[in-house]
Amino acid sequence: MSEFHENPFASTHSLDANPFDDPSEHTSPGPSYPSPAHAARLEGLSQRERDLERREQELNQRADHIRRFGRNNWPPFYPLVYHSIQEEIPEPWRPLITRLYQLWFVLFGTLVINMVACIFVLTSGSSNGGSDLGSSIGYLLVITPLSFLLWYRPIYNGYMKEQALYYYLYFVFCGFHLVFSIYMILGIPGTGSAGLIQTIKMYARRAIVAGILGTIATVGWVVQGAGSAIYYRQIWIHHKAAGHSVEKAKTELATHGAKAYFTRG
């Protein structure tokens, strides 16, 4: 009688079967979409890369400009000084310095219009026309650079370095400028000003073009003079709040000397 021997180690499963396999893992995965948070991170990284590239281009352009012209960048046609409100002025004071810079351009434009008005004053037959034209040309050539160097540049440096010496330079020379503005607003014949009195005389002589230009020049003198007075007061308040004093200005002058006016430190 033949006996049937059962192998106790025999398995009913295939030898290549894995008892720990999860059948669900062998199903084909569906399309995956990034989560909103992941998409936002990718967009942030992309934006950062674009910002870095733009910044690198700006730095390369600035480095190229420095190689070609040195660090000076103002005036653009013949750089003599470095001027950058965005880079050198602390953020809280940038609007103030920007308005002062714009006010300086108003002064420059007023000087140009004043000179042109004096040309028409001369052609209208005014007995003081020659003196007016000569003086107006002198004002344009002298006041334009001196106003930048003696009152705008000091207050620019003052807010950049927060040193008392620059504030006192500004107060002295801007004070002279305020007196000069009043003088030019009056428009006394023969003084080189196409201001109020000169303008009235031109209208009375029916010199309409000279009168219109004199009116524009008068308005320009009023606007830049009133603006200078308003900012003069604001800067004085800031100067007092910052604790600046004459003694501090003397110490700065003794320590740094006049060269500090031209340096960026």
Same domain, 125 and 227: yes
263 inside domain? no
Quick one: tokens of 197? 């009195």
51 shares its domain with 98: no
Same domain for 191 and 147, yes or no, is yes
Is residue 73 a contact partner of residue 82, using CB atoms and an 8 Å limit? yes
Same domain, 74 and 107: no
pLDDT of residue 63: 63
Per-residue pLDDT of 88-112, as tens digits, reads 999 999 999 999 999 999 999 999 9
Positions in the chain whose pLDDT score sits under 50: 1-5, 9-17, 20, 24-25, 265
Burial label, 179 (beta-carbon count in 10 A; 0-12, 13-18, 19+): exposed
In a domain, 27, yes or no: no
Same domain flag for 77 and 99:
no
Domain of 69 in residue numbering reads as 47-82
Which pLDDT score is estimated for 249?
Answer: 86
Phi and psi based region of residue 192 (left: phi greater than 0; alpha: psi -120 to 50; beta: remaining): left
Backbone angles phi, psi at 243, to 5 degrees: 80, 25
Contact call for residues 193 and 184 (beta carbons, < 8 A): yes
- pLDDT score, position 9: 47
Q: How many domains does the chain have?
A: 2
187 and 94 within one domain: yes
At 172 the pLDDT is: 96
In a domain, 111, yes or no: yes
Specify the pLDDT at position 52: 77
Residue 115 lies in a domain: yes
The answer to whether residues 220 and 101 belong to one domain is yes
Following CA atoms 214, 218, 224, 229 in sequence, which dihedral angle do they give, to the nearest 10 degrees? Answer: 160
Tell me, yes or no, whether 51 and 116 share the same domain. Answer: no
Q: Is residue 131 part of a domain?
A: yes
Q: How far apart are CA 244 and CA 239, in angstroms?
A: 6
